[in-house]
């Protein structure tokens, strides 16, 4: 190459520096907004599940670690302690992801202090439209889980029926429920005492 | 805030530096000293990678020519102009090249009667395997266009009778269509010098009596053309009229005198006095002949 | 100015949908299941195309030919990241839909193709015209297909949360149109239709 | 967890069930361009397998040791990864041209095409930056898994490309209505072929 290698390397490095600088700048501007957006979304989901809770406090890492341990196959993304107006533990919000027909089904569970399911919603899923999505569009299916007794065990969950034609998707909801019950027994029951 | 900016700049510029220096180093260390002549020859070649010269691509042909393994006129597709350009590059004067053109020895198409209705794979190769093809005549053109698809120069197209019309301006004589045609070995398509003015549109060798039943545009070996031809350039050999292109002056008497009209113009050449009327000549060929002579 | 319009028009020309379909395929296919997503995707592509064309045209004298590909790619990638961050910060629902297809704009064949073919050899002003023309052409095709796919695939078109257009109530939407294979098959027929349209117009012109 | 069956599952999942071309529809830029003749398709698949493996390992290393520790990965991963892929492709092209011209002639001409191939970038990013594909479980790959995954994806890419090329070559001589000839017909075939691959979804719980 007749031209000295430097003549080739300098422009590339300069472009990289310029690009990195501009991107870092935009990131620092947008980053707080992104975090705020995510927090707001999380808050909204938890609110919808634990209506009368006022604030949500993310539990510390050990609790989350123990919860993940107990959950086994499913993935516990977050465990929140729901507090009422004067700071008493009202119940728990759990974000659980389990494997559905094609990808991850993310759900949010609201439990009261003694493990009764207050409400649950499906945050995001990628099931086949029209088939897998029936776990969300048919309320009867989810209502069963609301009817679960407090501190329900795995056998109660197994007793609930599934949607025919969407076995894989409904099994993801069941796995999620089993994980929630396991986490509650192992971690939350003891940690539920008045702060 | 400043820390992330600095970290980002640091990381990306290190990456950019690594990438660019790797490339610069590679450009130097792996510098392939390509013989400049090879690139010049490669650019002179048509670049259609047609394989007529036996090399997979024009680039490899250029390498062979530059190394002297192939003659300057190796590129049949390129014809005279490419040969002269390479000759100039290689220094020795290129000998005169007889440019070749492909012609079709069949006037059948819709005139030929069909042995059976064929609805299978639309390729001559396929239909030829089925009892020798859908035509009663064993050497006629099957008309499914394998040659048209194979031609890298787009010189061929199927006319309304289902026969391939060859545009000799584009045809470079690379011979791929002759290889591609299932009837190629009995030279249904044949490479003749591009100066060939007339073509016999038949290549059947069975008895004329059977031929008549299988096709209305076939040569019946009546020898009229042989008797009338002033330059004694056309003879009936093995029951089929064959043109000897060295002697043929292109006067066109054979075209007029043939009762079956199965000798007509090789498209694009009109040293023939007649207006290229040969009934079996397709509209395309006549138009082309007319266009060339500018009338 | 006349030159500017000429370049802009040929970016937008009628054969652009066919060429766009063939080269800008990755994103077009996936995103066109929703009109709203396609709208943002189109705007994102226009933004990245125009900005990178302009910047590359500005720097074309400085960029040595042997290393132009890495430089082009870094410029385009940074504009794409700006779009990515911007969408994540201000339009999270749209980001949820477009998510993975924004980073893949970087390798979208149109942008690198235009940068290499046009922006590297022409003035900034003309490159912007070309970027705009090509970008709008791309979005035009994308929106057209998204319109068909969403309307027939899901029975209604939702724009910013409200159903703008609805099919008659008895309409049972064929879900396949919303899934990828349906998009492919629909594309096949759309290309055939456009080709048939072109042929008819050329025939009428010739006759 | 690192048993053979785990790797095998990862490979089959990447190659067939979540085939990057026909179920995730990434990398279509060259899919239609390349698939007109078998030997071009072979050349391209070999090149993709080679480049994707190298690119995935490099991006994995860069993410693990440079981008992640400095936690600037969130906004720098696109330029960084695509720069790596472009530089790698150009480096491999020069190296091949020098070391073995025959291999270069068979495979080398497709290398510049790979820089603009979405599949390579998508695989390289998913292997290093977990959660790139929202569909799959967010999961950080170890180096071994990354290699097996990249190999699976590229084999899947090659497999889809070759089946499609075979179909397309057969199509050229099939009695297709005039207006559907060529591109439209190959779109429709691709759609039907992807139906077959989508049918695989849900196997082994992947």
What are the domain boundaries of chain B? 36-90, 100-287
Collect all residues with Cβ–Cβ distance below 8 Å to A20 and sequence separation of at least 6: B5, B8, B9, B10, B11, B12, B13, D76, D79
Q: Where are the alpha helices (DSSP H) in chain B?
A: 2-29, 36-44, 58-66, 79-90, 124-128, 146-150, 176-180, 208-214, 224-228, 253-257, 283-293
Q: Per-residue DSSP letters for B208-235?
A: HHHHHHHBTT------HHHHH-TT--EE
Most confident among A15-29, B127-141, B235-249, D10-24 (mean pLDDT): A15-29
The confidence score (pLDDT) of residue D151 equals 92
Q: φ, ψ for residue B274 (rounded to 5)?
A: -60, 170
What is the arrangement of strands in the sheet containing A75-83, beginning at the earlier edge strand? A55-58, A75-83, A89-100, A103-112, A117-124
Gyration radius of chain C over CA positions? 18
Q: State the best of B23, B26, B28, B30 to mutate against chain C, taking most chain C CBs within 10 Å.
A: B23
Residue B22 corresponds to which tokens in the numbers above?
């790797």
Exposed, middle or buried, C115 (CB in 10 Å: 0-12/13-18/19+)?
buried
Find out whether B200 and B105 touch, Cβ atoms under 8 Å: yes
User: Considering its fold, how many domains does chain D have in total?
Assistant: 1
Q: Do C67 and B23 touch (CB under 8 A)?
A: yes
Q: How far does chain D reach from its first CA to its final CA, in angstroms?
A: 16
* Domain contains D180: yes
Whether A82 has a pLDDT exceeding 90, the answer reads no
CB contacts of D75 in chain A (<8 Å) are: 23-24, 26-27
Collect all residues with Cβ–Cβ distance below 8 Å to A164 and sequence separation of at least 6: none
Percent of chain A past pLDDT 70, that is, above it, reads 90
The second-level CATH assignment, the architecture, of B36-90 is: Orthogonal Bundle (1.10)
Beta bridge partners of A81: A57, A92
Q: Do C99 and D121 touch (CB under 8 A)?
A: no
Find out whether B47 and B58 touch, Cβ atoms under 8 Å: yes
Q: How many CB atoms lie within 10 A of CB C29?
A: 24
Confidence grade of residue A129 (pLDDT, cut at 50, 70, 90): low
CB contacts of C74 in chain A (<8 Å) are: 12, 15-16, 19
Q: For domain B100-287, give the CATH number.
A: 3.30.70.20
- Mean pLDDT (chain D) is 81
Q: Which of B239, D74, B1, D84 is nearest to C74 (CA)?
A: D84
What are D184-196's pLDDT values in tens digits?
Answer: 888 888 888 888 8
pTM: 0.70
The confidence score (pLDDT) of residue A3 equals 57
Confidence grade of residue B274 (pLDDT, cut at 50, 70, 90): very low
Find out whether C50 and C132 touch, Cβ atoms under 8 Å: yes
Q: Which H/E stretch holds residue A95?
A: strand A89-100
Q: Which chain D residue has the Cα nearest residue A26?
A: D75
Q: Which residues of C touch B (CB under 8 A)?
A: 66-67, 70, 74
Beta bridge partners of A99: A104
Domain coverage including residue D44? 34-197
Whether C74 has a pLDDT exceeding 50, the answer reads yes
Q: φ, ψ for residue C105 (rounded to 5)?
A: -65, -30
* Domain contains D118: yes
Find out whether B223 and B216 touch, Cβ atoms under 8 Å: no
Calculate the alpha carbon distances from D127 to B228, C100, D10 in Å.
Answer: 82, 14, 12
Q: Do A21 and B9 touch (CB under 8 A)?
A: yes
CB contacts of D27 in chain C (<8 Å) are: 26
Q: φ, ψ for residue C100 (rounded to 5)?
A: -75, -20
The confidence score (pLDDT) of residue B192 equals 75
Q: φ, ψ for residue A174 (rounded to 5)?
A: -65, -45
B103-117, B142-156, C108-122, D36-50, range with the lowest pLDDT: C108-122
Whether C59 has a pLDDT exceeding 80, the answer reads yes
Of C78, C104, C179, the CB nearest to D26: C104
The confidence score (pLDDT) of residue B281 equals 40
Confidence grade of residue D155 (pLDDT, cut at 50, 70, 90): very high
Strands B240-243 and B234-237: antiparallel
User: How far, in Å, CA of A75 to CA of A106, rounded?
Assistant: 9
The confidence score (pLDDT) of residue B267 equals 57
Note whether ipTM > 0.90 here: no
The answer, for B5 touching chain C at a CB cutoff of 8 Å, is: no
Give the position of tokens 């398509």: B189
Residue A169 corresponds to which tokens in the numbers above?
């998707």
Collect all residues with Cβ–Cβ distance below 8 Å to B18 and sequence separation of at least 6: D87
């Amino acid at each position: 190459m007749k031209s000295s290698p430097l003549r080739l390397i300098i422009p590339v490095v300069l472009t990289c520096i310029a690009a990195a600088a501009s991107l870092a700048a935009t990131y620092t501007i947008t980053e707080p907004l992104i975090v705020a957006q995510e927090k707001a979304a999380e808050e909204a989901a938890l609110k919808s599940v634990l209506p009368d809770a006022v604030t949500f406090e993310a539990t510390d890492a050990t609790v989350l670690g123990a919860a993940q341990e107990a959950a086994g196959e499913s993935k516990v993304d977050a465990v929140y302690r729901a507090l009422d107006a004067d700071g008493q533990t009202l119940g728990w919000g759990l974000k659980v992801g389990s494997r559905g027909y094609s990808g991850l089904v993310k759900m949010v569970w609201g439990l009261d202090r003694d493990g009764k399911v207050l409400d649950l919603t499906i945050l995001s899923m990628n099931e086949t439209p029209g088939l897998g999505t029936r776990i969300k569009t048919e309320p009867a299916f989810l209502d069963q889980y609301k009817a679960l007794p407090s501190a329900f065990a795995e056998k109660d969950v197994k007793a609930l029926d599934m949607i025919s034609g969407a076995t894989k998707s409904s099994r993801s909801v069941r796995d999620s429920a089993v994980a929630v019950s396991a986490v509650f027994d192992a971690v939350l029951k003891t940690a539920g005492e008045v702060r | 805030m400043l820390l992330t900016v600095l970290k980002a700049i640091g990381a990306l510029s290190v990456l950019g530096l690594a990438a660019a220096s790797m490339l610069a180093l590679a450009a130097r260390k792996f510098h392939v000293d390509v013989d400049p002549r090879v690139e010049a020859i490669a650019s002179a070649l048509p670049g259609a990678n047609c394989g007529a010269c036996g090399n997979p691509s024009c680039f490899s042909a250029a390498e062979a020519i530059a190394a002297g393994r192939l003659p300057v006129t190796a590129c049949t597709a390129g014809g005279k102009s490419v040969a002269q350009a390479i000759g100039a590059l290689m220094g020795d004067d290129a000998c005169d090249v007889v440019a070749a053109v492909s012609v079709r020895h069949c006037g059948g198409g819709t005139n030929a009667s069909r042995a059976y209705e064929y609805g299978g794979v639309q390729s001559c190769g396929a239909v030829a395997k089925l009892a020798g093809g859908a035509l009663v005549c064993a050497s006629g053109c099957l008309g499914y266009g394998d040659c048209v698809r194979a031609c890298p120069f787009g010189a061929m197209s199927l006319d309304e009778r289902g026969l391939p019309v060859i545009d000799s301006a584009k045809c470079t004589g690379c011979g791929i269509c002759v290889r591609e045609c299932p009837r190629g070995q009995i030279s249904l398509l044949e490479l003749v010098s591009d100066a060939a003015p007339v073509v016999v549109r038949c290549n059947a060798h069975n008895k004329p009596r059977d031929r008549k039943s299988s096709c209305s545009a076939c040569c019946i070996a009546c020898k009229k053309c042989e008797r009338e031809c002033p330059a004694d350039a056309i003879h009936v050999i093995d029951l089929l009229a064959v043109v000897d292109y060295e002697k043929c002056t292109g006067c066109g008497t054979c075209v007029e005198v043939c009762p079956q009209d199965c000798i007509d113009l090789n498209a694009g050449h009109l040293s023939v006095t007649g207006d290229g009327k040969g009934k079996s000549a397709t509209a395309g060929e006549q138009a082309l002949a007319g266009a060339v002579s500018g009338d | 100015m006349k030159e500017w319009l000429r370049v802009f028009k040929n970016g937008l020309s009628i054969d652009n949908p066919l060429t766009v379909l063939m080269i800008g395929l990755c994103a077009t296919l996936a995103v066109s299941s929703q009109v709203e997503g396609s709208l943002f995707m189109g705007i994102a592509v226009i933004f990245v195309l125009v900005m990178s064309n302009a910047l590359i045209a500005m720097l074309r004298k400085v960029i040595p030919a042997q290393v132009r590909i890495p430089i082009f790619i870094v410029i385009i990638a940074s504009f794409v990241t700006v779009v990515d961050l911007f969408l994540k910060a201000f339009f999270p629902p749209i980001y949820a839909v477009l998510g993975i297809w924004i980073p893949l704009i970087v390798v979208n064949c149109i942008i690198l193709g235009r940068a290499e073919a046009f922006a590297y050899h022409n003035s900034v002003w003309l490159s912007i015209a070309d970027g705009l023309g090509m970008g709008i052409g791309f979005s035009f095709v994308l929106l057209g297909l998204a319109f068909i796919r969403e309307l027939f695939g899901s029975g209604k078109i939702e724009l910013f949360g409200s159903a703008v257009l609805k099919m008659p109530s008895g309409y049972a939407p064929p879900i396949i149109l919303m899934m990828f294979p349906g998009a492919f098959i629909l594309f096949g027929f759309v290309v055939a239709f456009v080709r048939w349209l072109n042929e008819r117009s050329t025939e009428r012109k010739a006759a | 967890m690192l048993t053979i069956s785990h790797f095998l599952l990862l490979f089959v999942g990447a190659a067939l069930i979540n085939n990057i071309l026909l179920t995730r529809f990434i990398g279509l830029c060259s899919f239609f361009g390349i698939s007109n003749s078998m030997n071009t398709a072979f050349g391209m698949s070999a090149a993709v397998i080679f480049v994707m493996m190298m690119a995935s390992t490099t991006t994995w290393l860069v993410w693990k040791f440079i981008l992640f520790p400095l936690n600037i990965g969130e906004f720098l991963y696109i330029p960084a990864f695509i720069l790596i892929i472009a530089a790698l492709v150009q480096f491999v092209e020069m190296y091949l041209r020098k070391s073995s011209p025959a291999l270069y002639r068979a495979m080398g001409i497709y290398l510049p095409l790979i820089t603009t191939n979405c599949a390579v970038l998508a695989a390289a990013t998913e292997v290093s930056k977990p959660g790139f594909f929202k569909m799959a479980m967010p999961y950080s790959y170890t180096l071994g898994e990354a290699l097996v995954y990249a190999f699976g994806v590229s084999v899947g890419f090659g497999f889809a490309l070759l089946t499609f090329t075979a179909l397309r070559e057969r199509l050229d001589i099939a009695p297709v209505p005039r207006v559907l000839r060529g591109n439209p017909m190959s779109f429709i075939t691709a759609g039907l072929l992807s139906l077959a691959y989508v049918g695989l979804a849900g196997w082994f719980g992947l």
